[in-house]
Structure 1
Amino acid sequence: MSQSRPEVHFTSLNSPLSTRSEVVEACTSLLRPLLPFFSPGRTRLRLGATATRYDEAGAQLEGFTRPMWGLGALLAGGDSFPESELWLEGLRNGTDPSHSEFWGYSKDMDQRMVEMCPMAFALCAAPKQLWDPLTEKERLNLQKWLDINKKEMPNTNWLWFRVFANLALLRNGADYDAKRLEADLDHLDTFYRGDGWSNDGPEHTLQMDYYSGSYAIQYLQLLYAKINGDKDPKRAEEYKNRAKLYAKDFMHYFDEQGRAITFGRSLTYRFAMAGFWAAVAFADLELEPPLTWGVVKGLLLRNLRYWSRQPDILTGAGTFNIGYTYPNQFMSENYNSHGSTYWFMLSFACLAVPEMHPFWKSTEEPLPVNSIPAILPLKHPKHIMVRRGGHTFLLSSGQMCHYPMRASESKYGKFAYSSAFAYSVPTGGYFVEAIGGDNTLALSDDAGETWRVRRKTLNARLETEDNSPVLISTWTPWDDVSVETILLPPTEDAPNWHLRVHHITTGNRTLKTSEGAFGLDGVSQKDERELPQMTGQDTEGRVEGAGETLAVSRGGAVGIVELHQPQRRAGRVLDEDSNSNLTECRSVLPSLAMDLQPGIDTWLATAVFAMPNTVPDYRQRWKDGFQNRPKIPDWLKQKMAG
């Protein structure tokens, strides 16, 4: 057995994290470990040695500003944090051009613009502690530093950061650019697509992830509505109405245990994935049934509890590392410093409201799974949300990151994303175990030397067949090769399965193919070694055969089966490259392999089985579920025959 090690948690494992005071303690317990890392002038925190695409001063500024999401909420709610004086001192020195630790003024596309947002929130929420003590000269320095009104910014959620820079000045009686504030808000409103959903950019892009909800757009809309609603009531009301619509969809991205579906970029922000629910509390927004205050409270606090139980998200010093449930640079982006991770703390906005607020007074309620659809198509993000067979996940087609990003094909291009079985990312490109191959169809035209997976989809669309939603899209790994993929959610008769049907035209190439199911924990519970072959009465292990394969471990049970021509595909359980999966540093991947000859059309009908470990007695129940296989619907059989 492995040797145990001391675990570091950001709050007591015995804390139920159900009351305001307990959440206050969780927030302060994340602020305290930062104190030894302040620079002499209190303007920067160096929390790690890895680099970002922007300068080191900007990276250390992140360490200073992002905790201000939590600090500002604490102070706004009437709680004390004696060391808040360090941030006040940092504001004075960092914005003083004559000080040795001056942050520097923003250039075009500067990371400093991002960091103005949590700072601006804190200045709006807690002016008595962070603005009023400043001298007139210090206020002018801060005003000049926040003036980015003539700087170029990305045409994305970043524009909200300039809105908040102006908002902080407006709410504190300083000079601001009213025309730029209005113009930015008007432009951001062009990102709105309907039904509560905004795109993270202009219409020709399709990126609707946690940025368009909890990290930035929906979140900041609600903060704006609360902070500036008295001066801009019409826009504030519009933002609240959008949030009411969005909430009905966004609740489907969380499971009953509090986990969020792993999808998209910047997942190292962790608890920020639930930030929207904190903003609902901050904005005093009553949502529509079944989203009572008790349900909203449960959505936020269950997610906080989940993260509080993950010891490997913290360094030995108690600060956040880069990763998801353990340190992992493979899944990070080139804009992630150790300070970046503290975007996490925006989800403490609920602390800005008092103990007597209905959010805190309400009794926490579970997710109302009996009153929401088990299958829900979402036309704007092009997702089919699924809550069936004990599993919460989504099917996806059409989204992509419209600028270069590490592992963007894994973050947006996979067929399915789950709250129980996190996605994997590439660690290299020269063997199939290293490509992050879960929920992808990978193709190689050089005998397996390199692999291509879906990144950019064409003509992605939601359709309805047999009263059930389906997702259809095409992608072209090479100019002469095309793949049409049809995704079907589970049926009531086979609740643990979803279908993927692929029509592949090979062109002039000989292709190797590998299609992955969900990745899962690949460690044997018996001896903590690699997952063995399953025999006899074993309750864990791997099974490999013609046209099908399965793995059962302490993570759950996952399998994959070819329904159309099983003898042509070989089932195998891949030992994924270590540290490729977001939650399991040693993961396995049930997959199907097949070679294709040039100049042919091929139909593959893949059924993917998944039963999370949260299903009672899953080690016994998976057997019946795995044998209860879905059928290719008649309409699809006709399409394949044609």
Structure 2
Amino acid sequence: MMTRISDNPLQTREDLLAALEQLTDPLRPLYSKGGARLDIGRTGASYPAATAGMEGFSRVLWGLIPLLGGGGDSELWPTVLDGIRHGTDPGHEEYWGEVRDYDQRLVEMAAFGFALAAIPDQIWSPLAPQEQEHLYNWLNQINSHPCYDCNWLFFNVLVNVGFRTIGRPYDEVQLESNLERMDAFYLGEGWYSDGVDGHCDYYGPFAIHYYSLLYAKLMGQEDPERARKFKERARLFAAEFVAWFAPDGSALPYGRSLAYRFAQSAFWSALAYAEVEGFSAGTVKGIILRNLRWWFSQPIFDAAGVLTIGYTYPNLVMAENYNAPGSPYWALKTFLPLALGAEHPFWREQELPLPEIPAVSVQKPAHLVLVREPASGHTAAFNSGHLSTNEHTHTSAKYEKFVYSTGFGFSVPRAEWGLSQGAFDSMLALSEAGEHLYRVRRRNLESEILDNLLRSVWKPWADVEVRTWVVAGLPWHIRVHRIETGRALDAAEGGFALGQETGLAQQLSGSGAAAATAWGTSGIRGLTGYMRAELIWPNANTNLLRPRTVLPTLTASLEPGIHWLVSAIYGDPSAVPVPSAQLTELPGNILEHDPLSLLNVTLDEDKIKVLTTGGAEVIIPLQ
């Protein structure tokens, strides 16, 4: 019997090979009769079930291609070849079909392009001439249908690189056009946005940079200048992106598509594959393996060992509209180092811990300030907000909270009514008085960062303007809001959502609320303007890390006019020093701490003075 993946030590290449087998072995009975689809589950997505089955088939290739490319073998591969034969045959009942513009199947073609370029002897040569023609014709549809103007443009690039490798006609004009278009998304310092005015989220590292590095490896001789450019951008980005990872292997939960889980470390796998200089092989290996070990210690599989939709537990509430049952297997991109043969120097390097990372990392292209607690490694990303938005699920929760945390995660709303359904952690939520229907920051009129001070201006209604300043820090940070409103409002300021199961210590005062559980301590204190402090119990399954949470919150009632709300928020995800069942008191009276002096903030009757980490003095007049 195969050992559980959580028991895999994940230290060597052999361990990584075993992990890939442990991930794919439960899928064997789920292939369709013709092998062209994976029937993993019954939940729906924005595309038909037949397309979802094809997607699952394709995403497994991200793990199998490097396995075969590095000299390995898989008992699944004969099934995969049969699936390709039948899925691309217009006369077969499992034919993948004619695609449309912006079709999900265009996304899935990228893996086939990579396979044709990286392992043509295993995927192309075994096919009979007519089968080869079918595969070529089916993939070539991507040259007749547009993809979205974002990371999707690379799907066409990879398919045409594959065609070029096997000596088939390819669209050189579109390949070059798409590659040039990617430069419009480049923001400098290694950062890409996912499309013009798009977000800087994981689609930079596990999509755009990932595909760029595949291109650099596969086309290094044919296109050396662009390969050099892609590697240099990845090197610059690595120096910034490393701050998103904590010493325990976890990475920052931020943005969309988090159901792809350990794809978080796929960028580092591509860095190793393309042999990009900058970080040592031991450092890169450590980031990858620790991230995998962290993920495999979470309950992310069903009883049969199949990946579920969710983050640290099965959860459809946080999922995207395009998350089908097979979608999470995009995470197999992280197994790209298996393409490096057993004798490659990468495997001889000892795993190393994270390099020294500054306590505060300002990442302006991403609108983020990363703050790290040296002792615990807890990492929080403070967010100044964005000038544009999108229509993806829970966009405000995934891109516009004031802070995101490796220790507390973040929450998404369950529904629109009240504070429990809204789960407004790390947000200011506003409702028309008595309505209980809350609005939060979604798009900003202004957004800027000065060292550890972040400022934004946003309007939840046409006659309501909110100016927000956040003084980033850990375990405390400060939030200041100037609210000019033409209507009566109810306001709620949420702290960090704290996981809770058994054992809870709580503290409430007129101006503050705090709670401690086995997963740490969370608190909030009103410094001016707030009227009440309370603990909110958000709906189950709203938080990405914990199914049940408690949320310290401040509330206020605001009449038309100008109001100033100032608060201090505390978050320490370190485990409390007593068993949760015996937890009755907070570990220290945090509501009596002095966060203002800790963060070099002075609060007077008429102004707030902030001394930033860079030495700048900023005065916020309370008028």
- Shorter-chain TM-score tier: over 0.9
Residue 613 of structure 1 deviates from its aligned partner by: 2.0
Match of 2:588 in 1: 623
Contact 2:26-2:306 within 8 A present in 1 as well: yes
Match of 1:477 in 2: 460
1:529-568 to structure 2, matched below 5 A, reads: 531=504, 541-565=505-529, 568=530
Contact 1:24-1:351 within 8 A present in 2 as well: yes
1:264 paired to 2:255: yes
- Which residue of 355, 364, 374 maps to 2:359? 374
Residue 614 of structure 1 deviates from its aligned partner by: 5.4
Contact 1:143-1:175 within 8 A present in 2 as well: no
Contact 2:2-2:22 within 8 A present in 1 as well: no
Contact 2:513-2:591 within 8 A present in 1 as well: no
Q: Deviations over 1:19-50 (max 9, x none)?
A: 01001100111111111011111100111111
Match of 1:160 in 2: 154
Q: Cα–Cα, structure 1 residues 11 and 246, in superposed 2: closer, same or farther, change >3 Å? A: farther
- Which residue of 213, 221, 229 maps to 2:205? 213
Q: Distance in 2 between matches of 1:397 and 1:221?
A: 28
Match of 1:517 in 2: 495
Contact 2:498-2:550 within 8 A present in 1 as well: yes
1:455-466 to structure 2, matched below 5 A, reads: 455-463=442-450
Q: Cα–Cα, structure 1 residues 347 and 9, in superposed 2: closer, same or farther, change >3 Å? A: farther
3-state secondary structure, aligned to 1:210: coil
2:201 alignment partner AA: D
1:610 alignment partner AA: G
TM-score normalised per structure 2: 0.93
Contact 2:388-2:444 within 8 A present in 1 as well: no
- Which residue of 510, 530, 533 maps to 1:571? 533
2:173 alignment partner AA: K
- Which residue of 238, 258, 261 maps to 2:229? 238
What is the root-mean-square deviation in Å for CA atoms of aligned residues?
Answer: 2.0
1:250 paired to 2:250: no
Q: Deviations over 1:266-317 (max 9, x none)?
A: 1000000111001011111121xxx322111111110100111113x11122
Greater shift in the superposed pair: 345-354 or 125-134: 125-134
Residue 10 of structure 1 deviates from its aligned partner by: 8.2
Q: Distance in 2 between matches of 1:321 and 1:590?
A: 30
Unpaired runs of 5+ residues, structure 1, are 1-7, 526-530, 532-540
Match of 2:129 in 1: 136
1:635 alignment partner AA: K
Match of 2:485 in 1: 506
Greater shift in the superposed pair: 620-629 or 476-485: 620-629
Q: Cα–Cα, structure 1 residues 442 and 9, in superposed 2: closer, same or farther, change >3 Å? A: farther
- Which residue of 365, 370, 373 maps to 1:388? 373
The number of residue pairs the alignment matches comes to 600
Contact 1:66-1:118 within 8 A present in 2 as well: yes
Match of 1:640 in 2: 621
Q: Distance in 1 between matches of 2:315 and 2:390?
A: 22
Residue 628 of structure 1 deviates from its aligned partner by: 3.0
Q: Distance in 2 between matches of 1:615 and 1:226?
A: 47
Contact 1:570-1:594 within 8 A present in 2 as well: yes
Q: Cα–Cα, structure 1 residues 419 and 615, in superposed 2: closer, same or farther, change >3 Å? A: farther
Q: Cα–Cα, structure 1 residues 48 and 10, in superposed 2: closer, same or farther, change >3 Å? A: farther
Residue 615 of structure 1 deviates from its aligned partner by: 8.1
Q: Distance in 2 between matches of 1:401 and 1:146?
A: 34
1:516 alignment partner AA: G
Match of 2:605 in 1: none
Q: Distance in 2 between matches of 1:59 and 1:129?
A: 25
- Which residue of 602, 607, 610 maps to 2:568? 607
3-state secondary structure, aligned to 1:377: strand
1:308 alignment partner AA: F
- Which residue of 187, 204, 216 maps to 1:225? 216
Q: Cα–Cα, structure 1 residues 416 and 318, in superposed 2: closer, same or farther, change >3 Å? A: same
Match of 1:497 in 2: 476
Q: Distance in 2 between matches of 1:408 and 1:498?
A: 24
1:45-124 to structure 2, matched below 5 A, reads: 45-124=38-117
3-state secondary structure, aligned to 1:639: strand
Residue 150 of structure 1 deviates from its aligned partner by: 2.2
Residue 523 of structure 1 deviates from its aligned partner by: 1.7
Contact 1:381-1:399 within 8 A present in 2 as well: no
TM-score normalised per structure 1: 0.90
1:416 alignment partner AA: V
- Which residue of 330, 335, 347 maps to 1:360? 347
